[in-house]
Structure 1
Amino acid sequence: MSHLLDTSAWLVHLFGEPGVEEVSRIFEDAQSEVFVSVLSLPEMYGRLKALDRQDQWPLVRDTYAELFARVLPVDESIAAAAIDFRSRAQPRLPTIDALIAATARVHGLILVHRDPHLAAISSENLAQVSLPGKQA
């Protein structure tokens, strides 16, 4: 089975946070391809910048480029699926997260994430793995 990492799961792996073992298993599974949405690239850069570590972006990008099977673009079918997710979301699903989840659905991938609002999407609408929450 192939997976799409949400930015939150990518951060879990990069920083060795709770859930890193699950993400590592996915990367190590020879039967699984791992994808990322193009939208996760600026999100990851933004997180590094918020930590004053933006100088690490080229290394992070290049290292993970070797692990990801492909960076998936957003198109009109993904936008339509994101609108569907947002129309059902209670109370709210941020646009970028809806687009990333929709990318997983359109491509038939399992979404791996650590976002409670993504976990609220029903399993009938999206195959997903929810990682443990970040420890304080």
Structure 2
Amino acid sequence: MSHLLDTSAWLAHLFGEPGVEEVSRIFEDAQSEVFVSVLSLPEMYGRLKALDRQDQWPLVRDTYAELFARVLPVDESIAAAAIDFRSRAQPRLPTIDALIAATARVHGLILVHRDPHLAAISSENLAQVSLPGKQA
């Protein structure tokens, strides 16, 4: 099985937050390929910058070099799938999250995340692993 990490799952792994064990298992599984959406790159950098840790971006690139080699682009088929997700979403599904989820669906990947609004997408429409939420 192959997986697409949502930015939230990638952050959980990077910062050792809830869900880190599951993401580590996915990385360690020789039968699994792990991908990210191109949209997760600026999201990850933005999170580091918000924490005043943007100087760690080169280290993140080095640490996750294999993941950076498996970055999936967004195209028209992904945009169409994102529109479908957003049209069904109750409550609102943010555009970037819809595009990342759509990337997983179009490529036949299991989405790994810890976002409650992504968990609201039916398992009939998206294979997913929902990680425990970040604790306050």
Cα-to-partner distance string for 1:74-124 (whole Å, 9 max, x where unaligned): 000000000000000011000000000000000000000000000000000
Structure 2 unpaired stretches of 5+: none
Is the 8 Å Cα contact of residues 7 and 44 (structure 1) preserved in structure 2? yes
Is the 8 Å Cα contact of residues 33 and 68 (structure 1) preserved in structure 2? no
| Paired residue total | 136
Per the TM alignment, residue 28 of structure 1 is displaced from its structure 2 partner at its CA by 0.1
TM-score where L is the length of structure 2: 0.98
Q: Tell me the distance in 2 between the aligned counterparts of 1:55 and 1:116.
A: 30
Is the 8 Å Cα contact of residues 36 and 67 (structure 2) preserved in structure 1? no
TM-score where L is the length of structure 1: 0.98
- Look up the SS of the partner of 1:58 in the other structure: helix
Q: Say if 2:47 is the partner of 1:47.
A: yes
Per the TM alignment, residue 66 of structure 1 is displaced from its structure 2 partner at its CA by 2.1
Is the 8 Å Cα contact of residues 61 and 68 (structure 2) preserved in structure 1? no
Per the TM alignment, residue 61 of structure 1 is displaced from its structure 2 partner at its CA by 1.7
Cα-to-partner distance string for 1:11-30 (whole Å, 9 max, x where unaligned): 00000001100000000000
Q: Which residue of 2 aligns with 1:120?
A: 120
The alignment-based identity, stated in percent, is 99
CA 1:68–1:110: 2 relative to 1, 3 Å:
farther
- Look up the SS of the partner of 1:111 in the other structure: strand
Cα-to-partner distance string for 1:25-70 (whole Å, 9 max, x where unaligned): 0000000000000000000000000000000011102221224551
- RMSD value, Cα: 0.9
